[in-house]
Structure formats: structure tokens, C-alpha cells
Amino acid sequence: MKKHVVFFEVVGGTDKGPDGHRADTMPMVKSLEARGWTAEVIFYSDEKKDEIFEQVAKSADAYVSRINPGNLKSEAIYFQMLRDLCEHGVKGMPHPEAMIGYGAKDALVKLRETALVPEDTYAYYDIDSFKENFPKVLKNGERVLKQNRGSTGEGIWRVQLISEIGDASEVPLTATVRCTEAKDNHVEEHDLEAFMTFCEQYIVGENGMLVDMPFLPRIKEGEIRLLMLNKTPVNVVHKKPADSADAFSATLFSGAQYRYDEPEDWADLVHSFMSTLPMITERLGGYDLPLIWTADFILDTDENGNDTYILGEMNCSCVGFTSQLSLSENVADEIISILTQTETVEQ
């Protein structure tokens, strides 16, 4: 083993401090060094990808990706380099396919047969299937539509039917819907046809898709974010949406209140989620769990009146821990533990 780890960053983007790094990068480098390892940061660019590949393939046991894909010109070229590195035996933290699989909104649909996701959750990859299905499911109750490409609530819409539609088998295109965007909880009313036409932009183009899931009214009690280091939950953020009628967003910008809890405070959730990890890994392609990732949950009630936790989304491409930099110590321990275990298995 080389006992050397490379952190990939990219120049620019709003996540950088005065030294040009993400605030949580150098703490991880230092924590590895404190354990007798070496680590370096490489700034990725498409132009230098061959050179970077050679260097990392030769020198490192693992890479840790700390690039927000939104800060790249083309994520496809970067992901291909990561794929090549993994094939060459460098441990991907995470593997690019895991980044794609866990991070995409349709991960929910891949987990639909489990208790984590309501059965009537759908993904639309083309406009026709959206037009075909959405008016039917909206008839059964409020929905949340999620675009894949945004973040911080952009293009995430709560959709409520306002018009009386009698016993029609689907919501007519002329019916009025009340639409609230999670970005800022602002409300717009449209006829269904106009709103659905507006949503077509989310389906077309690279990585375009819309996920359609039931609106979970207990979002009022908060969204529960588990921060995971590989298979270990390390902290919980409880995000309570602003207290107004249509508000459903857990983003800070929309006025949600954040509280930091310990995993022990959410023992039921943690326990049941841990037991589903092997199944999640399998359904999302069999890649190792990401190094640093999050899973967000919303409370629901099952048919026996018991609390259940519904998965709202997962993030893993570049989860930050700037507000708790001491976690770099846990991250370093986790990296070393993953690499030394892999080595033992391979011997």
C-alpha cells in the first residue's frame, strides 16, 4: 500500500474559501497526515486529465472526489477519468457510478419496492409518459414533482388540485392547480396544462427527468437528514419548514429552522435504515457506499398508525461538513479503515 490519498477539487465555484479550497478539504488532508499517511489536493481540469490520471494511478491508493458537478464544464469527461482510475485499481471514494446512482432523483424509483419509498412514486424520462400518468395520479392526492438537475429546492414543486373535478378518472387539463416551489415556498396558480407544459423543461436535455411522489404532509414536523460516513451515521440535522400554510421546504433560504441532533436521538430511524443498507447498495448497482453522503427522511404514518420514515433524497457528489470540521478526523479513520480492509480481503 502507498498510504497516499488524492483529493480532487476544481478551481472556482461558490464553495471555495480564500485559499481556493473547499473549507473541509485541508482538514481531511491534515487528519490523514496526522495518522502517518500522505495526501494531496489536485485541481482537476479536462485539459490535464491524462496527466492527472497518470499521476494518480501511479501514486495513490484512493481518490476522494470533492467536486460539485455543477462546477464542471462537462461531468462526463471527469467521470470517465474516475472510471478509468477505478479500473486501474485506485479506490473510488466514491465510484462515479455510485455518485450518479445515489445522487440522481430516480434513486427513489429504484427503491420503490421497499418500505423507504411510497409505491406510487414514478420517474418520467419523456414528456409523453408525464402527460399520460400525472393527471391520473394527481386525482388521488397532492404530489411533489422533482427535477433531477437542480439543488436547494429549485424545480421541486408541491402540486395541489384546487378545482372540483367530481368523479372524473383523471384531472382535466383545464383544472386549476396550486404550485409551491421549494426554493422559496412561493405559490403560483395555473391550469394543469400550462403548468405541465412549463415542467417539460425538466425532462428534456442531459440528465433530464421528473420524479413524481406523493406529498407527505408530515414534512411540517421536519425533514431528517442523516450524515453518513460510509456505513456509519455521524450526525443528524433536523430541518423544520417555515410555519406558513403552503410552506414545505427544508432549505435554509426558504426560512426552515435547523437543529443538530445525535444519531442516538433518532435510534429507530437509524436502526431501520442501517438494516436496509445492503439492499440499497444492491439496487443502486452494487457499488460501495459513498465515503461522505446524506439520506433525507420525512415522517409518515403506516396503516397501523405507526411512524415510518420515507426517503426523500440522497446526496453524495460533494457533501460538505464545513459546520463541523472536526469530522475530518472521522473521515480520515474511515478512509484508512476502508483501504486496509480492502487490502486484507485481496491478499
Ligand X SMILES: Nc1ncnc2c1ncn2[C@@H]1O[C@H](COP(=O)(O)OP(=O)(O)OP(=O)(O)O)[C@@H](O)[C@H]1O
Peptide bond connecting 217 to the previous residue in cis, omega within 30 degrees of 0: no
Asked if 250 touches ligand X (CB under 6 A), the answer is: yes
Task: Give the one residue of 28, 86, 111, 144 binding ligand X; rule: CB under 6 A.
Answer: 144
Q: Which residue is nearest to ligand X (CB)?
A: 250
Query: CB of residue 330 vs ligand X: minimum separation in angstroms?
Result: 22
Asked if 150 touches ligand X (CB under 6 A), the answer is: yes
Task: Name the residue among 236, 209, 244 with its Cα closest to residue 309.
Answer: 236
One-letter-per-residue 3-state SS of 300-319: EECCCCCEEEEEEEEECCCC
Query: CB of residue 206 vs ligand X: minimum separation in angstroms?
Result: 17
**Residue closer to ligand X (CB basis): 22 or 146:** 146
Task: Name the residue among 237, 239, 259 with its Cα closest to residue 247.
Answer: 239
Asked if 151 touches ligand X (CB under 6 A), the answer is: yes
Asked if 53 touches ligand X (CB under 6 A), the answer is: no
For residues 63 and 316, is the Cβ–Cβ distance under 8 A? no
> Contacts with ligand X: how many residues (CB under 6 A)?
23
**Residue closer to ligand X (CB basis): 210 or 250:** 250
Task: Name the residue among 320, 225, 311 with its Cα closest to residue 265.
Answer: 225
Asked if 313 touches ligand X (CB under 6 A), the answer is: yes
Spatial distance between the Cα atoms of 132 and 121, rounded to a whole number of angstroms: 15
Query: CB of residue 14 vs ligand X: minimum separation in angstroms?
Result: 14
Asked if 213 touches ligand X (CB under 6 A), the answer is: yes
As given in the structure block, the three cell numbers for residue 278 are: 445492503
Spatial distance between the Cα atoms of 275 and 272, rounded to a whole number of angstroms: 5
For residue 334, CA distances in Å to 137, 167, 189 come to 43, 56, 48
Spatial distance between the Cα atoms of 57 and 189, rounded to a whole number of angstroms: 54
Query: CB of residue 141 vs ligand X: minimum separation in angstroms?
Result: 11
With CB under 6 A as the contact rule, which of the stretches 169-177, 191-199, 246-254, 262-270 interacts with ligand X?
246-254
With CB under 6 A as the contact rule, which of the stretches 28-36, 46-54, 132-140, 244-252 interacts with ligand X?
244-252
As given in the structure block, the three cell numbers for residue 315 are: 446526496
- Given the rule CB under 6 A, which residues bind ligand X? 144, 146, 150-154, 156, 182, 213, 215-216, 219, 223, 241, 248-250, 296, 298, 312-313, 315
